[in-house]
Structure 1
Amino acid sequence: MQELMCMTDEDLVYLQLKTRTERVAVDPVLSEKIRSWNKLDTAIYDHFLAVFNEKIKAFGTTRMAQEVMKLRRNIAAVNQQCVESVDTQREHGWIQRNVLRQGSPEHCRKMNWGEVKYGDHIRELQRSWTSIPPQPALNLRENKLRATQIEILGEEVFQQTTKR
């Protein structure tokens, strides 16, 4: 898979974030109910699992097992380099977080970013690569939306719809 996506070993290494302290076993009856409730999601998952398994077969299961072992070694090395300890969050005691080693390199800090901070970082990088102007502030967008709705619906209809 790494070759198909032109990724390096470093591209695949990660730190686990926001892990739960405990796992809860789900009995088979409840598991089947959950799959039924999420029938469409389950069908999509099953389809791509089959595609993934075919790609593993074409790649070679032994070779894939070796690649997985290499990835696990690389992840363990990064954990050793970056993580001092793991403790629980104050607000959510059931979720664990990484405490980075003092003076950790930048790649350790970036791997420890949450999804919001990392998403903001990616968007900032993308802005520097494109000529798309930054999005206006939320209040300006809301004002423009409100003005457009009034223009289309009329003031009276707009007032009625916003009273609900």
Structure 2
Amino acid sequence: MQELMCMTDEDLVYLQLKTRTERVAVDPVLSEKIRSWNKLDTAIYDHFLAVFNEKIKAFGTTRMAQEVMKLRRNIAAVKQQCVESVDTQREHSWIQRNVLRQGSPEHCRKMNWGEVKYGDRIRELQRSWTSIPPQPGLNLRENKLRATQIEILGEEVFQQTTKR
């Protein structure tokens, strides 16, 4: 399927960030209530899941399974290269974070950036391609997002994950 999107193996590899320490089972009654509360989201999800399943069928389920296995192997290789350990944060014990290996390559650090840092980097790149001046409201939003991430991760971890 990556061919349809003109992507390479490297484009698809990722590191999981801010993973939960455990999964919680949701009973079927609550699950149905959640689906009901989010009826529009559920309808959109169901539609695109059906489209996705048709694409898998056209692509070939065996071939798709092989591609998924290859992706998982590539992810495991990058995790082996980049991640020293997975640490549970004291303040938020349900969140795990990656501790990168000493001297990890730049691609490891970038894959470990949080959504705020990625958003900052994308906006920075977009600003360099346009002559539109920065908007004060956007800067306030960015600062709030950054402050929240520092509050969750801690200043030291935030600085480590935002090094370029």
Give the TM-score range, shorter chain: 0.7 to 0.9
Inter-partner Cα distance in structure 2 for 1:68 and 1:16? 16
- Per mean C-alpha deviation after superposition, the further-off stretch among 48-57 and 123-132 is 123-132
Shift in Å at residue 99 of structure 1? 0.2
Cα distance change on mapping 1:117 and 1:130 into 2, 3 Å: same
Gaps of 5+ in 1: none
Cα distance change on mapping 1:159 and 1:53 into 2, 3 Å: closer
Shift in Å at residue 162 of structure 1? 38
* 1:63-120 residue CA offsets vs partner (Å, 9 max, x unmatched): 1111100000000000000000001113211100000000000000000000000110
Shift in Å at residue 160 of structure 1? 47
Shift in Å at residue 17 of structure 1? 0.3
Cα distance change on mapping 1:14 and 1:149 into 2, 3 Å: closer
Gaps of 5+ in 2: none
* 1:43-77 residue CA offsets vs partner (Å, 9 max, x unmatched): 01000000000111111111111110000000000
Cα distance change on mapping 1:136 and 1:84 into 2, 3 Å: same
- Per mean C-alpha deviation after superposition, the further-off stretch among 20-29 and 73-82 is 20-29
Shift in Å at residue 5 of structure 1? 1.2
Residues 86, 97 of structure 2: 8 Å contact kept = yes
Percent sequence identity over aligned pairs: 98
Shift in Å at residue 146 of structure 1? 25
TM-score under structure 1 normalisation? 0.81
The CA RMSD over aligned residues, in Å, is 12.4
Residues 120, 142 of structure 2: 8 Å contact kept = no
- Tell me which structure has the larger Cα radius of gyration: 1
* 1:9-34 residue CA offsets vs partner (Å, 9 max, x unmatched): 11100000000001111111111111
Shift in Å at residue 127 of structure 1? 1.7
TM-score under structure 2 normalisation? 0.81
Inter-partner Cα distance in structure 2 for 1:97 and 1:162? 14
What's 2:52 paired with? 52
- Per mean C-alpha deviation after superposition, the further-off stretch among 99-108 and 143-152 is 143-152
Shift in Å at residue 125 of structure 1? 1.3
Shift in Å at residue 156 of structure 1? 48
Inter-partner Cα distance in structure 2 for 1:35 and 1:26? 12
Shift in Å at residue 128 of structure 1? 1.8
User: How many residues are paired up?
Assistant: 164
Cα distance change on mapping 1:21 and 1:71 into 2, 3 Å: same
Matched, 1:139 2:163: no
Inter-partner Cα distance in structure 2 for 1:113 and 1:160? 9
Residues 20, 94 of structure 2: 8 Å contact kept = yes
Inter-partner Cα distance in structure 1 for 2:94 and 2:15? 18
Inter-partner Cα distance in structure 1 for 2:102 and 2:157? 60
Inter-partner Cα distance in structure 2 for 1:156 and 1:14? 23
